[in-house]
Amino acid sequence: MFSESAIKLGKIQVEFDCLYGTKEMRKRLTQADRSKELLRICNREDVSFEGFQYLERKLIFNLINREITEQLNLL
Q: Contact, 12 vs 42, CB < 8 A? A: yes
DSSP H stretches of helix in 29-61: 31-44, 49-56
Average pLDDT, the chain: 89
Domain ranges in the chain are 4-74
The phi, psi pair for 13, rounded to 5°, reads: -60, -45
Whether pTM > 0.85 for this model: the answer is no
Model pLDDT, residue 21? 85
In the Cβ-directed half-sphere of 60, how many Cα atoms lie within 13 Å?
A: 20
Residue 60 makes CB contacts below 8 A (sequence gap 6+) with: 31, 34, 35, 38
pLDDT digits (tens, 9 = 90+) for 44-65: 999 999 999 999 999 988 877 7
Model pLDDT, residue 61? 84
